[in-house]
Structure 1
Amino acid sequence: MNAPTMKTELMDAIKYDEPFRAHAIYYAIQQGYVQIDDPYNGLPADMDYDAIKKMQHANILQMCTVKIFTIPFGQGMHAIYLANCENDARAKHFTLYRQHAQRIQNASRRMDVSLYCEETGTHEVIRETKRRAAEFPWYVGVVGW
């Protein structure tokens, strides 16, 4: 197996939704710290990490555009949606439940949470559910959070 290159590490960071890592590799390539085909041996410590954080905040690589939104049902139960924006999640909720969402919360920090799927009898990380989704908005299900 070939040793990973900067390019393969960048592609993996994008594939696995690791925005800081992806922007840091991109920055290193753009600023000439490394070349895209160089073997990956980590990133230089002397890079401007504040500039990288600004790139990430500006979302230069257009990552993580799909977010997790929750709409409470009461008694700790929430409908979970993967969508590009709140309005898309609200519309999907109305289509499924014929109820207007009174509150909606961005829960994207929970992308690595594992949920139990009754249909398959297995646990799946929400990030994997996102990869399987055919279109967005995507209804994930109802959970107790």
Structure 2
Amino acid sequence: MPKVTVYKLLLDMIKHEENFGAYWIYLALKKGYLQKEDDPKSIYDVPFTDEEIVEIKAMNKRDVLGINRIKLYATSISDTKYALYFARTPYDAQMLHATIYGSKPTKWHSIYNQHKYTSILHNETNEEIYLFMLKERVKEFPYYIGEVVVGDGESGVKY
């Protein structure tokens, strides 16, 4: 079993989109408070100043590590149905939507932060899966997830 290090923890935090922890470790490595091979428990001993905490938040906002480049977008296709897409930009989702549905809606909702831990019934694989896990499996973006029904007791992704 490979040894768990600060660097391995950083990679895992990036993979699982644990932004604050990832930027905490990144800045600690950059400032020399931690070394890549250190035990992960040492992250609790980093003596960050208030200014450095502000720097961590600013890096997160700018997405310096590229953790949140792919977002989850939704657009309404009826009163109770939304089409869901993973894409870098709303424009990318809009172009794919036009290919699938023949129209280009202009109203898009970025819903990833609110729903990355939401599970859906993915009809293609017939499994219940968290959206952040589905995003990991996708090889090419933009990606059409399917239609989700909201509000009437029915749920799941429909094709």
The TM tier, using the shorter chain, reads over 0.9
Q: Superposition RMSD on alpha carbons, in Å?
A: 1.5
Instruction: Name which of 50, 61, 65 aligns with 2:65.
Output: 61
Deviation of the 1:16 alpha carbon: 1.3
2:143 is the alignment partner of 1:142: no
Render the CA deviation track for 1:83-121: whole Å, top value 9, x for unaligned.
Answer: 000000000000000012141111111122111012322
- Runs of at least 5 residues in structure 2 that lack an aligned partner in the other structure: 151-159
Q: How many residues align?
A: 145
Equivalent position of 2:83 in the other structure: 79
Match of 2:157 in 1: none
TM-score w.r.t. length of structure 1? 0.92
TM-score normalised by length of structure 2: 0.85
Show the counterpart of 2:96: 92
Paired AA for residue 17 in structure 2: D
Give the secondary structure class of the aligned counterpart of 2:86.
Answer: strand
Q: Distance in 1 between matches of 2:21 and 2:80?
A: 34
- Kindly tell me: are residues 9 and 143 of structure 1, through their superposed partners in 2, closer, same or farther at Cα, counting changes over 3 Å? same
Question: What is the percentage of aligned positions where both structures have the same residue?
Answer: 28
Equivalent-residue separation in structure 1 for 2:13 and 2:104 (angstroms)? 37
